[in-house]
Homo-oligomer: A and B are copies of this chain.
Amino acid sequence: MPNPENDSAWTRLIDRLGRLPGIGKRSAERIAFHLIRQPPEETQTLATALNDLVTDLRVCSECGNLSEADPCAICADTKRDRTTVMVVERPSDIVAIEQLGSYRGLYHVLLGRLAPLDGIGPGEMNTEPLLERIRSSSIDEVVLATTPTLEGDGTALFLMEQLERLGVRVTRLARGMPTGSNFASVSKAVLSDAIQGRTSMNAGQ
């Protein structure tokens, strides 16, 4: 007869997997089937990655970035421009922008974006701390740098509505044709953005 303990290690895993967003009981069971057939090292590596997340990373209490320290190195850097905050969806977005070396303001990481179809609402994002930061600090410009997608745009719109009430200046990243592209390769949406957002070339305008 199956040992009750065995059964509970199995059902415990399925229960735990089923609590993750987007994973129902059926998917959880499928993942458990997959894991039990994999070499044990694969499963252990996943377990280690989960434990590393908890032990190695903190969420910066100021900006929501992932960091070993709290506040993170960017928030703690006194040479940064503390009047500008760029709002991004994920920590890796910061990495990409920091590599440019040109942006000197602070960041705010949403750790998510609105996706109503997936059941992700405002509460699943790091929104309230952003509003609180703006209320209690010297920020005068918020740059919305959500991804240029339907969900990213929806997230930006939602944030815009919240931020407007606080009387802060809100900007968003320019949208247009990517440098190096051509008319044949860009989508209609890109072209349409480029026309709508056309900028004046006359000096002084």
Please give the residue numbers on chain A whose beta carbons come within 8 Å of chain B beta carbons, in ascending order: 1-3, 5-7, 9-13, 15-17, 19-23, 27, 29-37, 40, 42-54, 56-57, 59, 65-68, 72-74, 90-92, 94-95, 98, 111-112, 118, 120, 124, 126
Q: Which of chain B's residues have a CB closer than 8 A to the CB of A19? A: 42
Q: Which of chain B's residues have a CB closer than 8 A to the CB of A35? A: 20, 50, 53
CB-based contact B32/A22 at 8 Å = no
Interface centre among A1, A27, A44, A68 (most CB of B within 10 A): A1
CB-contact partner of A43 in B33, B54, B66, under 8 A: B54
CB-contact partner of A67 in B6, B56, B73, B118, under 8 A: B6
Interface centre among A5, A11, A17, A49 (most CB of B within 10 A): A49
CB-based contact A21/B34 at 8 Å = yes
A168 to chain B minimum Cβ distance, whole angstroms, is: 25
CB-contact partner of A92 in B11, B12, B44, under 8 A: B11
CB-based contact A2/B98 at 8 Å = yes
CB-contact partner of A33 in B29, B34, B65, B112, under 8 A: B112
A192 to chain B minimum Cβ distance, whole angstroms, is: 25
